[in-house]
Amino acid sequence: MGEYRTGTAGSADGTVIGYRTLGSGPAVLLVHGGMKAAQHLMELARVLSDGFTVHVPDRRGRGPSGAHGADFGVRREVEDLQALAAATGATRIFGLSSGALVTLRTALETPSLDRIALYEPPLSVGGSAPVGWVPRYEREIAAGKLSAALVTSLKGLGTEPVFGRVPRFLLVPFLTVGARLQRGRADGDVSIPDLVPTLGYDMRVIREMADTAPDYAGLKTDVLLLEGAKSPVYLHQAVDALSAVLPRSRRVTFPGLGHEGPEDEGDPRSVGAALRDFFADPA
């Protein structure tokens, strides 16, 4: 953990949100997506850290951050990002997946944020985002079948093509072993078994923000829309919808990337280069 500093911000409802910090320069927030944590954006943070002070929060329910709470919804996530922006002085923010949805809604309500970058927000357009798998996932979570719930979500979301091609009866035991091996990590990262149950809360965000693209027609902030060419169609439909309504946006498509593009296992250098140019641009 010596490579980064840690900090906390207090959200409006009293929930503590923890974050990692590295680098120096103008402050930037990097907001992870569903079933992920701060650890998954650390390579991207390193790419940006020579020109920016990069803050990478763990969203609610993960690591040092507090629980989601009984009244969790988009409002709570917006309050969390507003608290983080106030605590760090960040005016630039990047969000991935469900983190991009929350970032988008926060930008609408937070004039101090003047550079917004979004990678594939799963904004449902006329039912485009797949949610039919969620009831099965919820039953498996309730029964303590975390590996089965993980497989259900991976196949349901379609963001990991390899998992979509492997039969469930092979995936479940494989992921069970992997989760057991990772559970003992002591480096500040959040384990897979702890991350799987958080996805249900991200699906609440997706359902709550469905068909809200027209809301952003009045957003005057500069927005960079990012996508991977290999990602599922519904994610491109979301970017299409936002591109059509946002008055000050531009779009970048990465030919060889999928939904995991900004993450450590994707290509954070390519995504980071685009973010560096966008966040440094004074225009």
> Mean pLDDT across the stretch 211-221?
96
Alpha helices in the chain (DSSP H): 42-48, 74-88, 98-109, 134-142, 146-157, 161-165, 168-182, 192-195, 199-208, 233-245, 268-280
Q: Where do the domains of the chain lie?
A: 5-127+209-280, 134-201
Taking 70 as the threshold, does the pLDDT of residue 173 lie above it?
no
**What's residue 106's pLDDT?**
98
Average the pLDDT over each of 63-72, 92-101, 178-187 and give the range with the smallest value: 178-187
Higher pLDDT, 175 or 109: 109
Residue 250: the pLDDT is 97
List CB contacts of 237: < 8 A, sequence separation 6 or more: 125, 128
Separation CA 266–CA 34 (nearest Å): 16
The residue-averaged pLDDT of 239-268 equals 97
pLDDT of 28 > 50? The answer is yes
Residue 177 confidence (pLDDT): 43
Percent with pLDDT over 90 in the chain? 83
**What is the pLDDT, as a whole number, of residue 187?**
72
- Whether residue 10 is predicted with pLDDT greater than 50 in this model: the reply is yes
CA–CA dist 203, 215 (Å, integer): 20
Nearest-CA neighbor of 93 among 17, 11, 27? 27
pLDDT in tens, 107-134: 999 999 999 999 999 999 999 999 999 9
Per-residue pLDDT, 160 = 75
Q: In whole angstroms, how large is the CA radius of gyration of the chain?
A: 18
| Mean pLDDT across the chain | 92
Find the helix or strand (DSSP H, E) in which 116 lies.
Answer: strand 115-119
| Structure confidence at residue 131 (pLDDT) | 96
Percentage, residues of the chain above pLDDT 70: 89
Q: Does domain 5-127+209-280 have CATH number 3.40.190.10?
A: no
pLDDT of residue 172: 58
Task: Residue 9: name the closest of 60, 43, 51 by CA.
Answer: 60
Tokens (6 digits) for 121: 């927000």
Mean pLDDT of the region 32-59: 97
Q: What local confidence, expressed as pLDDT, does residue 167 receive?
A: 67
Range of lowest pLDDT (1-15, 54-68, 203-217): 1-15
- Is the pLDDT at 185 greater than 60, yes or no? no
Selected residue with higher pLDDT from 268 and 185 = 268
